Amino acid sequence: MRALTLIGVLLLILGIASFFVSVPQKERQGVKIGGASVGVETTSSQHLPTWASAVLLVGGILVIALGSRSKAT
C-alpha cells in the first residue's frame, strides 16, 4: 500500500529531525495586584528524549517494511 509507505517515510523523517530540532517552551510567571500585573516570561528549548527519537525511527522503518511487503503480494 502506498499510504503505509508514505506514513513510514514521514515517521522516519520526524525521527531524524527530532535529533537536531529542539521544541520551544514558554513559561509565564506573574503576580496580579488589583489592576496592575507584573510578570516574567521565560523561553527554553529542549530536544525530545533519545528513546522517543528511536521509537520514531524504528516505527518508520517497520511501517515502510510493512508497506513494501503488502505491495509484493
Query: 13 is written with which cell numbers?
Result: 523523517
The SS3 assignment for 35 reads: coil
Helical spans, DSSP H, in the chain? 2-20, 50-72
% pLDDT > 70, the chain: 93
pLDDT at residue number 47: 86
* pLDDT under 70: residue ranges of the chain: 1, 70-73
The verdict on pTM exceeding 0.95 is no
pLDDT at 73: 54
Tens digits of residue pLDDT in 33-47: 888 888 899 999 888
